[in-house]
């Protein structure tokens, strides 16, 4: 049991909960916790098998929470070591797979026997041969775990997914059909195992992530290297990472060189080179070298820790369609009972009445949304898409407006030299080398781009005898007895009206003018280049039906117009952060569903205001992870159309699940009420929707790029 952050008045605690298998279980635990005096709120996470509780520490203690969970029929396990936990989970998964495979065979065999046995009249002969009390004992013994949870829930005035089926068991026993009751219990237990197996596959995304988190670090203390648990490592200490080891903390490299695989953070398999000054992240792996890293973040505060927290907490933000299904499940029991009463009043047939109660299945309706959302969020997380909850999947699926920031989002956020324009007989290399020599001591971003371009061509740089930086204008230096000026037109008046420079200016290009002794000798063109995958990504977004794509930028009109024309999108220029928020609100007021993509820094307010805010390249960026509703863990624009595809496919599966279970229940109840579905066949039929929904939802675990 671990304690999270401590707000000023309330306290937040995390409680592990064992034994939860479905959405009904999470509701039961949540209701039990919220019923404890002093508890403000509780979010119960099926995937993470825990509850996050906000409480008044003066009014409630942890033992009270434990008693509430146990009173709901679930367990609060003691914490175990990470290695032991991983081994236990691996054993449980292997056992679950074996049991699930065995039960699948048994399920098919029993289903066949039930159908054929009913057709041949074998069950009547069996019922006559086995004394009724013994049959009742068999039903009660095999169904004890289910009945215990139903009794606990009923005592708290709650209806869970097995309540209706338990009433069906009682109805079958009431009319002397103990074999029917046994079949209902059998399929209830098989359904529980199948649901547990499917849920475990959804949980695996979180557990696989958590397994990547290192548990110890090699720290330099008092001149020696000491192996310590992560919880004992302090910010500012030096951690040593050897070849092949996982980096245990977020930090900055102070010595060493290594190739680092950052797939755990970015989802990108291509490694990066790390050296002094490079930021590195926990759970990434160093190869081909060793590193000494100064710690900046540890444990849950690392980028990896926050990624896990986001994936774990995604269940708390449930989709509206999921909330609708939850509410409907509460009304389903009285509806089924009412149909049963009407059936008995009209037909006076107790077997038909029992069949109505047996065939009704509210569990499938409760499963329809959460299993699909859990599977989809888990699959997306493995690909570097962190979706903070099912409600954002539902919103993305109906989005019709995409607003996009420019710098750092559509573009790389770093200027590059795109052209060199020499005049007066100079070559391009001569002009670039001269300009880079003048700019060698400048700190301006464009100066860095000039130096990089010169270095890429292998041009030698001269050392100026004098250098002057003129804020808002450019720089001036002395080289070989000449005064060289590099800057804008205010510094180089000779550039006014010069061709082909004037034409490029009219197109919104960024130019550095170069003059020697007040004579224009050329210009250097620079641009914040568009990410190479952006045009293809935007084309895919349009193909998905999002027609309104608009560029929002603080750049001037000409620069924005040039980029918008290249990409074929609308634009608005000269915007402040508050202007972007106003645009988002205006679209929302018109009834549009707005998705905003930004870099998560100056766009944070607009990301928060949008129906869905998407942060580009969120690795290591606090603001991006906190303000946005979706975080792309690597700077790959092709993840944006993938996001829309995942959302739409998920909602198709959810709607298919809801439609299937609704039709199935209506048809099943109608056939039972008309006496066309005997109780024994109703017992076999009631479990089929659960298996169908779980199989349909499990398809989302295999999301692949390009699927719509």
CB 352 within 8 A of CB 674: yes
Question: Would residue 6 show up in a list of annotated catalytic residues for this protein?
Answer: no
How is the chain split among helix, strand and coil, in percent rounded to 5? 50, 20, 25
Cis peptide before 628 (omega within 30 of 0): no
Helix H, strand E, coil C: the string for 396-457 is: HHCCCEEEEEHHHHHEEEEEEEEEEEECCCCCHHHHHHHHHHHHHHCCCHHHHHHHHHHHHC
* 497: three-class secondary structure by DSSP: coil
As beta bridge partners, residue 41 has 54
* 520: three-class secondary structure by DSSP: strand
Distance between the two ends of the chain, CA-based, in angstroms?
A: 41
CB 253 within 8 A of CB 275: yes
Q: Which helix (H) or strand (E) holds 97?
A: helix 82-120
- Of 405, 528, 603, 636, the catalytic one is 405
CB 45 within 8 A of CB 316: yes
Q: Which helix (H) or strand (E) holds 632?
A: strand 630-632
CB 572 within 8 A of CB 550: yes
Strands (E), 272-382: 272-274, 279-280, 285-297
Q: Label the pairing between strands 285-297 and 510-516.
A: unpaired
Distance (Å, rounded) from C-alpha 365 to C-alpha 451? 63
- The crossing angle, in degrees rounded to 10, of helices 163-174 and 350-359 is 160
Structure tokens at 113: 């026997």
Distance (Å, rounded) from C-alpha 569 to C-alpha 548? 8
As beta bridge partners, residue 294 has 238, 252
DSSP state of 362: S
Active site residue ranges = 405
């Amino acid at each position: 049991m671990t304690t999270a952050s401590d707000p000023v008045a309330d306290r937040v605690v995390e409680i592990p909960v064992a034994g939860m298998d479905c959405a009904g279980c999470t509701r039961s635990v949540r209701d039990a916790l919220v019923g404890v005096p002093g508890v403000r709120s509780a979010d119960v996470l099926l995937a993470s098998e825990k509850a996050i509780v906000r409480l008044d520490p003066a009014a409630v203690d942890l033992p009270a929470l434990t008693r509430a969970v146990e009173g709901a029929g679930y367990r609060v396990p003691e914490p175990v070591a990470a290695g032991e936990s991983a081994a236990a989970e691996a054993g449980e998964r292997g056992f679950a797979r074996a049991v699930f495979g065995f039960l699948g065979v048994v399920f098919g065999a029993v289903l066949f026997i039930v159908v054929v046995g009913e057709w041949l009249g074998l069950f009547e002969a069996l019922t006559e041969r086995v004394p009724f009390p013994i049959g009742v004992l068999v039903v009660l013994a095999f169904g004890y775990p289910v009945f215990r949870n139903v009794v606990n829930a009923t005592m708290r005035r709650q209806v869970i997914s097995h309540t209706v089926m338990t009433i069906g068991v009682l109805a079958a026993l009431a009319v002397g059909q103990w074999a029917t009751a046994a079949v209902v219990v059998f399929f209830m237990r098989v359904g529980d195992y199948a649901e547990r197996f499917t849920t475990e596959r959804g949980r695996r995304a979180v557990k696989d992530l958590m397994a990547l988190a290192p548990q110890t670090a090699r720290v330099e203390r008092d001149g020696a290297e000491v192996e310590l648990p992560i919880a004992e490592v302090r910010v500012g200490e030096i951690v040593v990472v050897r070849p092949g080891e996982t980096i245990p903390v977020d930090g900055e490299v102070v010595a060493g060189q290594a190739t680092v695989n950052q797939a755990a953070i970015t989802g990108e398999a291509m490694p990066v080179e790390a050296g002094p000054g490079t930021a590195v992240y926990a759970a990434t792996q160093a190869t081909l070298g060793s590193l000494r890293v100064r710690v900046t973040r540890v444990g849950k505060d690392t980028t990896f820790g926050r990624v896990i927290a986001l994936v774990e907490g995604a269940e708390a933000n449930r989709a509206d369609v999921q909330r609708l299904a939850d509410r409907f499940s509460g009304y389903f029991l009285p509806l089924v009972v009412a149909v049963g009463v009407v059936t008995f009043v009209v037909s006076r047939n107790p077997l038909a009445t029992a069949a109505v109660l047996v065939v009704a299945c509210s569990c499938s309706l409760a499963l329809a949304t959460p299993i699909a959302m859990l599977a989809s969020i888990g699959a997306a997380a493995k690909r570097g898409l962190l979706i903070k909850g099912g409600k954002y999947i539902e919103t993305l699926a109906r989005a019709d407006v995409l607003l996009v920031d420019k710098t750092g989002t559509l573009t790389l956020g770093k200027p590059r030299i795109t052209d060199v324009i020499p005049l007066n007989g100079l070559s391009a290399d001569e002009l670039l080398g001269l300009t880079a020599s003048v700019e060698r001591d400048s700190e301006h971003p464009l100066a860095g781009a000039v130096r990089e371009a010169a270095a890429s061509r292998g041009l030698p740089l001269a050392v100026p005898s004098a250098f002057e930086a003129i804020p808002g204008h450019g720089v001036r230096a002395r080289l070989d007895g000449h005064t060289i000026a590099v800057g804008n037109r205010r510094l180089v008046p000779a550039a006014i009206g010069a061709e082909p420079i004037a034409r490029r200016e009219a197109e919104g290009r960024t130019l550095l003018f170069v003059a020697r002794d007040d004579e224009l000798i050329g210009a250097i063109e620079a641009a914040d280049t568009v990410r190479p995958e952006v045009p293809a990504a935007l084309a895919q977004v349009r193909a998905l039906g999002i027609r309104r794509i608009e560029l929002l930028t603080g750049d001037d009109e000409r620069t924005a117009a040039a980029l918008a024309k290249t990409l074929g999108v609308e634009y608005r220029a000269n915007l402040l952060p508050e202007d972007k928020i106003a645009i988002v609100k205006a679209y929302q007021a018109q009834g549009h569903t707005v998705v905003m993509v930004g870099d998560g820094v100056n766009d944070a307010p607009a990301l928060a205001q949008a129906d869905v805010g998407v942060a580009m390249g969120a690795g290591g960026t606090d603001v991006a992870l906190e303000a946005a509703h979706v975080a792309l863990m690597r700077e790959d624009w092709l993840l944006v159309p993938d996001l829309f595809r995942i959302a739409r496919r998920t909602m198709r599966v959810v709607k298919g699940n809801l439609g299937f279970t609704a039709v199935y229940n209506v048809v099943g109840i109608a056939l039972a009420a008309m006496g066309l579905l005997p109780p024994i066949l109703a017992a076999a039929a009631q479990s089929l929707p659960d298996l169908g929904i779980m199989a349909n939802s499990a398809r989302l675990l295999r999301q692949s790029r390009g699927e719509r």
